[in-house]
Amino acid sequence: MSADCNSTARAPRLVTSHPLPPLSIVQHNCLGSWSVFLSLFNSLKSCHPTPHIVAIQDPPVWNSRLPSFRMFKAFHPPATMRNRPRVATYIHQDLLQSASVLPCLLDRLDTMAIDIHSQQGLFGSKYKIFRLYNSYSVNGTSCSSRTLSPQDLFPSHPFPTITMGDFNLHHPLPDPLRKLSSQDISVSAPYFDRAADLGFSLLNVPGTFTRFPFDSSTRPGVLDISFANPAAAPFFQSWEPPSRPPGQTMFPLPYYSLRPCYAHHPLLPTGTRQTGTL
């Protein structure tokens, strides 16, 4: 997947003399609902620290416009009456003022990337670029019929990279208690094999649900997944899905922190294929 770093949104290109601060990242599927979007961003006011990046899947769109929210700037694929973006990434103004942020639009509606550049290095390391992929993959009965391929979701880069989103994949690594069908395994295995071959580490806490159903008869699931490549994994600190408030029918918010922390334990070692026999 080649990134064409051209955006219809104007991004501040700042040259900073300060090291990039620790990053907090939230991801959420808004189900195309303005109410869900507003509920999400209002709930972020109570998060400490305030998230620097909010990766949205299935954002609401009206008249080719996506919602805005105070203190955040939105980046997304171009929206038209016929083409509705399936992803959007919101950047807090504190990050925009402390680093150079460049949206990389990939000539499609279901995935995008954000490049963050710091001349002084990322988290005290030699790396100066951090890339985050935000993706929404639509269901398919086979790997070849899905909208995003394993190569799309897991690109190979030498610099720190996180890929996250609503992958719509069922696999025993993030959801070990789920009873999986042979089709679930055949669809998800090529993605997890690709991740393993490139040394990506799963950031989710296995067995921690990220999606709750609207009815009590359906089992919660783990569809919102995130991975870090070998260059990004050492900086990963925590993955915290906050508890669901009473009466909330949406799934919780996967919450990530990237800090100079070297206590990471990879869940997906290089060369280890996970195909459902954990």
Using alpha carbons, select from 227, 200, 195, 189 the residue that is nearest to residue 27: 227
**Which is it for strands 23-29 and 53-57: parallel, antiparallel or unpaired?**
parallel
* Helix (H/G/I), strand (E/B), else coil: 152: helix
Q: How many residues does the chain have?
A: 278
Residue 98 belongs to a domain: yes
> pLDDT (tens digit, 9 = 90+) per residue, 20-49?
567 888 888 888 989 889 988 888 887 777
Q: Considering only residues 276 and 163, tell me which one the structure prediction assigns the higher pLDDT.
A: 163
Residue 271 forms part of a structural domain: no
Beta pairing, strands 111-117 & 100-105: antiparallel
Residue 180 to residue 69: CA distance in whole angstroms: 39
State the Cα–Cα distance between residues 253 and 191, nearest whole angstrom: 23
Locate tokens 């991801």: which residue?
27
CB 132 within 8 A of CB 117: no
Is 8 a member of any domain? no
Across 204-227, average pLDDT: 71
* pLDDT at 184 (0 to 100): 83
User: Could you give the residue ranges of the DSSP H alpha helices within the chain?
Assistant: 34-43, 93-98, 150-153, 182-197
- DSSP-derived 3-state class of residue 150: helix
- Lowest-pLDDT range of 110-119, 125-134, 226-235, 261-270: 261-270
pLDDT at position 1, please? Answer: 44
Task: Establish if 106 belongs to a structural domain.
Answer: yes
Read off the tokens for 5: 């770093």
In a domain, 57, yes or no: yes
Is the pLDDT at 276 greater than 80? The verdict is no
Summarised one tens digit per residue, pLDDT across range 50-61 is: 889 999 999 999
Cβ neighbours for 76, distance < 8 A, ≥ 6 positions apart: 9, 59, 66, 85, 87, 88, 89, 112
User: Does 263 reside within a domain?
Assistant: no
Residue 222: what residue type? V
Mean pLDDT in residue range 233-252: 58
Query: Has residue 17 been placed in a domain?
Result: no
Q: List the CATH number of the domain containing 248.
A: 3.60.10.10
The arithmetic mean of pLDDT across residues 61-76, rounded, is: 93
Residue with tokens 């334990």: 265
Query: Using one digit for the tens of pLDDT, what is the confidence trace for 109-149?
Result: 999 999 998 887 777 778 888 999 999 887 655 566 678 89
> What is the spatial distance between Cα 228 and Cα 133, in angstroms, rounded to a whole number?
10
Alpha-carbon torsion angle 158, 232, 43, 244, nearest 10: 120
Counted domains in the chain: 1
User: DSSP 3-state assignment of 122?
Assistant: strand
Measuring CA to CA, which residue among 193, 57, 74, 67 is closest to residue 135?
57
Residue 71 placed within a domain:
yes
Torsion of CA 240, 152, 37, 66, to 10 degrees: 150
By residue range, what is the domain housing residue 214? 23-258
The SS3 call for residue 4 is strand
Query: Residues 92-101: pLDDT tens digits?
Result: 999 998 889 9
pTM exceeds 0.75 for this model: yes
